[in-house]
Amino acid sequence: MPVTAHSEYGKLKLLFIKKAADAFLNDAQIEKEWEQLNFLSKPDFNNAVEEYQSLESILQQHTETVHHFPATRDVTMDSIYCRDAAIATNKGAIICNMGKPARNNEPKAEQAAFEKTNIPVLGAIKTPGTVEGGDVAWLDENTLAVGHTYRTNYEGIEQLQSILKPIGADVAIVELPHYKGPSDVFHLMSIFSPVDKDLAVVYSPLMPIAFRELLLKRKYQLIEVPDDEFESMGCNVLALAPRVCLMVKGNPKTRSLLEHSGCTVIEYKGEDISIKGGGGPTCLTRPVWREI
């Protein structure tokens, strides 16, 4: 079957992940970093490792090839949320420049891993531009939605447009609200998770009207996450394949809505690897190739 990097919902063929043990390292590292990185509370190392083993087992069952970003001392525990440091395209990876200063070394580490696995680098975002992978999502083969947030600025978006233009891809800018401010992790994919070509999980109260209308114009059916499941990451859903969804356990209303739309839903326990750090399954994975 044909493959593409320009999809958020095709069947996973190749992705990168970073194990909790390799990101968190040990209890001492967690104690040193969790507050300064704005985790909601201190993760338990052993629980995090156990949760991650369960998550990885699911990913291995649904993906042909899984690569691992290695442990390295020059990044923080945030590196577990490996989507943010790079963007996948059909012509190679775009290396991001992080809007959160504590994560500045992650893109370089991911680039080294890509090079070792023969994934070319198409381009890189340079200072003063910032782009984080959680702020981007492919709407179709030629359109990348990009959130303008505290983590992704206009300079970064302009650079991204310049990198994508030669490969025939356009950028659709999504102006996101202030919400909880610069210290919070609030990305485009906090409120938008495509799970099929015409189905997406959304949180409309924080969605710009123009973007919501764009999705409706494109004939998307919108799964509306209820208010009481937004903070528990009901809107952060990873498509393992079209309408095969992976989400954090504890969002029964959203799960029911997905199932009523013909989706298969797989859950994982994510108290220590997701809830406390504000990163669901889309954040924990860097898909590269998907079957279409």
CA nearest to 105, candidates 68, 81, 128, 76: 76
Structure confidence at residue 130 (pLDDT): 98
Structure confidence at residue 233 (pLDDT): 96
Q: Average pLDDT in the 155-163 region? A: 98
243-292 pLDDT tens trace: 999 999 999 999 999 999 999 999 999 999 999 999 999 999 999 999 98
Would you say residue 119 has pLDDT above 90? yes
Would you say residue 1 has pLDDT above 90? no
Q: Average pLDDT in the 82-87 region? A: 98
Q: What percent of the chain is modeled with pLDDT above 90?
A: 98
Q: Average pLDDT in the 10-15 region? A: 98
CA nearest to 286, candidates 122, 183, 117, 134: 134
Would you say residue 36 has pLDDT above 90? yes
Would you say residue 183 has pLDDT above 90? no
128-144 pLDDT tens trace: 999 999 999 999 999 99
Which residue ranges make up each domain of the chain? 3-291
204-246 pLDDT tens trace: 999 999 999 999 999 999 999 999 999 999 999 999 999 999 9
Tell me, yes or no, if the pTM score tops 0.75: yes
How much is the mean pLDDT over the chain? 97
- Domain covering 3-291 in this structure, CATH number: 3.75.10.10
